[in-house]
Amino acid sequence: MTIATINGISLNYQVKGSGDLVVLIMGTGSPGRVWDLHQTPALVDAGYRVCTFDNRGIAPSAESVEGITMDDLVADTAALIEHLGGGPARVVGTSMGARVAQELALSRPDLVYKAAFLAGHARMDYFQQTLTEGERALHDSGVELPAKYRAAVTAVMNLSPASLVDPHTARDWLDLFEFSGGRTSAGVRAQMEMDRTFDRRQAYRAITTPCLSVGFADDRMIPPYLSREVAESIPSARYYEIPDVGHYGYLEQPEVINKVLLEFLAD
């Protein structure tokens, strides 16, 4: 990993492989290394140079506890692409990272050759806004949920029921969530404070970059109809929905996700 001053902050990133640049943008609260489980190896094997990084808010990148905006995250990503030699790059984001990719395609089309959005969204509905308010209130209350209960809630909110049918698979997921969870850092809390009342459907009509919006059929965090709205808003976009996956679809069915991404990103 490399830590460099990019867009005025410390940004932790890594680059693997050679060829055309693909930048992967992770969602709220997660480090860039999550991509290394499945997506980075597949893209490197396909001949791409792949950059993953920790968004501001995720240590050892600057945690920016004084506040984080979407404009900050977009500017960070743009500056990182320029730092790596400039675009246009292929850009893939998931959840919050998908929105970063969407806004980057809108504001800096010179840096984006193609863009793919996993669990993308041009707005959040009332449920997502209420859930975020509840998560912030829970953090600020100082209450710490029992590890097993926290793991069960994480599974319910982020996985498809299809991933929990087999008891052995369910136990593996629950064990992972139980032992990888913990207190929310100040930087992640700053990410959670970002505005959730936006509606960018009209703005996205100006995007001209070729785009793919991927919806996860059993996603409770970003329901697939919100991902479909992104494709309907962007004239150059198409929509693809993957069954039997939740918000962590790229971990639940990585072979399917990778196939879809590789087909879209190819020239």
Domains of the chain: 2-126+187-265 (3.40.50.1820)
Alpha-carbon distance of 120 to 149, in angstroms, equals: 28
Measured between alpha carbons, how far is residue 115 from residues 80, 94, 103, 123, 191 in Å? 16, 11, 10, 18, 23
Q: Which two tokens stand for residue 115?
A: 């863009």
**Residue pLDDT, tens place only, 92-143:** 999 999 999 999 999 999 999 999 999 999 999 999 999 999 999 999 999 9
Of 163, 218, 227, 247, the catalytic one is 247
Does position 38 have pLDDT exceeding 80, yes or no? yes
Q: Is residue 38 annotated as a catalytic residue, yes or no?
A: no
Asked if residue 69 lies in contact with residue 194, where contact means CB atoms within 8 angstroms, the answer is: yes
**Residue pLDDT, tens place only, 44-95:** 999 999 999 999 999 999 999 999 999 999 999 999 999 999 889 999 999 9
With cut-offs at 50, 70 and 90, classify the pLDDT of residue 152: very high
**Residue pLDDT, tens place only, 11-22:** 999 999 999 999
Alpha-carbon distance of 142 to 246, in angstroms, equals: 28
Asked if residue 73 lies in contact with residue 11, where contact means CB atoms within 8 angstroms, the answer is: no
Measured between alpha carbons, how far is residue 250 from residues 9, 93, 208, 216 in Å? 29, 11, 26, 9
Does position 267 have pLDDT exceeding 90, yes or no? no
pLDDT at 157: 96
Q: Is residue 168 annotated as a catalytic residue, yes or no?
A: no
Of 54, 76, 218, 219, the catalytic one is 219
pLDDT at 180: 86
Amino acid at 2: T
Of 95, 163, 213, 233, the catalytic one is 95
**Residue pLDDT, tens place only, 174-222:** 999 998 877 889 999 999 999 999 999 999 999 999 999 999 999 999 9
pLDDT at 95: 98
